[in-house]
Structure 1
């Protein structure tokens, strides 16, 4: 079914192709408006086909900045195979500095497999899953904690039913050189980009490369090394392009699993959250996670919050002011193998 989206890229052609994926969307200011999502394709003969994607959520910047830089730096003559770059996937969200699109409230990473007749976010998800992802062997979607979350820097894959593809995804995840990585068990119908990549027959890779709606020298270096290492591990590049310092060999990797509601602590009412532990800390069930204050009732002692499960702290809420339903802190379970 035609979604109204236009794609300027011919995936069969060698060389450099640049343009915009356009999504028609009538708005008050402009009845024939187009959302124009930048895309670049570089192809040099046969070889691995890699899609690098960022801006799935608009307020996660390491991937957006690095992929924009990579568009300027990559030399097609130095490639073996093909690289497609989509640096600002959910463009309206990026330009609004928001997690979700201001046009339709769409969270792209919860919109797959999409709808060719739906809202702009749904149509984009449909295009990605049905047309863009199947034209690639590997899809690498870079994330971060966004404006409201601090996140332990890590790489990520989703468990897949295809054992050989899952094994290869873990192998590539190790090659990216993070200290921590986690495996999500979201099932074959997952509405995420990783679920969509699996359904499209591609290896899906992701990661959380920062947080807080900002970037730091450390998070930018981590993301640059991961992109360079992946492209080298796949044989697409022979030397790093983004890393400004030499990229050391990957060290030990701790695998993590996040699969249960009980691994998080959620707000039950409005309050002000004070974490007691740092990202990366190892905690046991019953350990103190933080305190929940009530600034509307200053005579009340703050509530102590304790972990229901042990593990490694992977994220916590950055905004102190919290509402019922907000996730305040999470632990992941260390796994081996």
Structure 2
């Protein structure tokens, strides 16, 4: 079914255009209204097309700011190819400062490929998958730890469905050049329901990122996003005049499932290590102070494997089943 989302942008017209992806939404206060998802298109004619998104989760800010800054940069730069930018993809979640949409509870990065006649989250996913991906030669979806995680700076990608796609993904990771890169099947997260997994199914090389911690702005993560975006647009011939810093070589790592630690009970989480630290099997990772039993000893958490801390829970208050730590190792 064709997407019900519309836009006044003519993606084939030359120059810069700014409008919205207009998502139909009937509410108590607006029977025939639509949700305005901001979108900017730069088209310089012949050349590859990059689709760049952020705000897929509304409480992750490095990507949102990086794409807004990129709009200003590209408005003063010669663009040879085409760049489609959506810095607040899940606009209801962005406006609310929440991971998921307050309208339907939808987690956009668990909603792909979406449906044309679903709720707002499903319609946004369907529009991206059916209208934008067919135009794209590469996709970058910028994420951070958001309200619940302190995340090390990494890029992530699905492996591609054949050798040619694998090489295209590897090139995109190498050019973006975050400190660490992970090729994953997504089994520890959204599996095939994420934006970059859906791009893979369309044959488009795509990467995602994790750039910061908490519902705030990391200047380090922001710089990685800005530099990586500029390198990609220059190296792919889309904005060849951009000045970019010389990157360090990205290091390829992988998540280890036995490295994950989850909260065994409700309580107050006291971590003993930070993201980026090297840890060993048997090392004490932290404590959970039981919320309802002040007189009992706290629950001691220990790592079950050697590795580097990839992420750590950000809030202190925790519930049974919350992810507290994840580990990665060099491939």
- The answer, yes or no, to whether TM exceeds 0.5 is yes
**How many Å apart are 1:146 and its aligned residue?**
0.3
Equivalent pair of 1:44/1:77 in contact (CA under 8 Å): no
CA offsets 1:245-296 (integer angstroms, 9 cap, x no match) = xx54222322121263x33111122011111111111222222211111243
Equivalent pair of 2:3/2:130 in contact (CA under 8 Å): no
Q: Which residue of 2 aligns with 1:271?
A: 267
> Are residues 77 and 44 of structure 1, via their aligned partners in 2, closer, same or farther at CA, if it must alter by over 3 Å?
farther
* Range moving further from structure 2, 117-126 or 69-78: 69-78
**How many Å apart are 1:151 and its aligned residue?**
0.3
What is the CA–CA distance in structure 2 between the aligned matches of 1:285 and 1:112, rounded to whole Å?
37
Gap regions ≥5 residues in structure 2: none
Equivalent pair of 2:252/2:330 in contact (CA under 8 Å): yes
> Are residues 201 and 131 of structure 1, via their aligned partners in 2, closer, same or farther at CA, if it must alter by over 3 Å?
same
Q: Which residue of 2 aligns with 1:70?
A: 70
> Are residues 226 and 235 of structure 1, via their aligned partners in 2, closer, same or farther at CA, if it must alter by over 3 Å?
same
Equivalent pair of 1:38/1:86 in contact (CA under 8 Å): yes
* Cα RMSD after superposing both structures: 1.8
SS of the aligned residue for 1:51 comes to strand
Q: Which residue of 2 aligns with 1:201?
A: 203
Equivalent pair of 1:184/1:259 in contact (CA under 8 Å): no
Q: Of 309, 325, 332, which aligns to 2:328?
A: 332
What is the CA–CA distance in structure 2 between the aligned matches of 1:305 and 1:321, rounded to whole Å?
16
Counterparts of residues 1-337 of structure 1 (less than 5 Å) = 1-75=1-75, 78-186=78-186, 190-240=192-242, 247-258=244-255, 260=257, 262-335=258-331
SS of the aligned residue for 1:78 comes to coil
Q: How many residues align?
A: 329
> Are residues 276 and 239 of structure 1, via their aligned partners in 2, closer, same or farther at CA, if it must alter by over 3 Å?
farther
* Range moving further from structure 2, 9-18 or 40-49: 9-18
Gap regions ≥5 residues in structure 1: 242-246
CA offsets 1:86-124 (integer angstroms, 9 cap, x no match) = 111000000000000000000000000111111110111
What is the CA–CA distance in structure 1 between the aligned matches of 2:134 and 2:2, rounded to whole Å?
17
Equivalent pair of 1:141/1:206 in contact (CA under 8 Å): yes
SS of the aligned residue for 1:207 comes to strand
What is the CA–CA distance in structure 2 between the aligned matches of 1:113 and 1:38, rounded to whole Å?
20
What is the CA–CA distance in structure 1 between the aligned matches of 2:241 and 2:284, rounded to whole Å?
45
- Tell me the TM-score normalized by structure 2: 0.94
What is the CA–CA distance in structure 1 between the aligned matches of 2:225 and 2:219, rounded to whole Å?
10
CA offsets 1:55-104 (integer angstroms, 9 cap, x no match) = 10001111111212222331376112111111110000000000000000
**How many Å apart are 1:189 and its aligned residue?**
6.6
Equivalent pair of 1:174/1:250 in contact (CA under 8 Å): no
What is the CA–CA distance in structure 1 between the aligned matches of 2:11 and 2:202, rounded to whole Å?
16
> Are residues 239 and 283 of structure 1, via their aligned partners in 2, closer, same or farther at CA, if it must alter by over 3 Å?
farther
CA offsets 1:139-164 (integer angstroms, 9 cap, x no match) = 00000000111000111111222222
Equivalent pair of 2:288/2:298 in contact (CA under 8 Å): yes
Equivalent pair of 2:23/2:36 in contact (CA under 8 Å): yes
Equivalent pair of 1:185/1:258 in contact (CA under 8 Å): no
What is the CA–CA distance in structure 2 between the aligned matches of 1:154 and 1:198, rounded to whole Å?
19
Equivalent pair of 2:159/2:169 in contact (CA under 8 Å): no
Equivalent pair of 2:77/2:239 in contact (CA under 8 Å): no
What is the CA–CA distance in structure 1 between the aligned matches of 2:80 and 2:97, rounded to whole Å?
35
Equivalent pair of 2:26/2:32 in contact (CA under 8 Å): yes
SS of the aligned residue for 1:118 comes to coil
What is the CA–CA distance in structure 2 between the aligned matches of 1:253 and 1:177, rounded to whole Å?
5
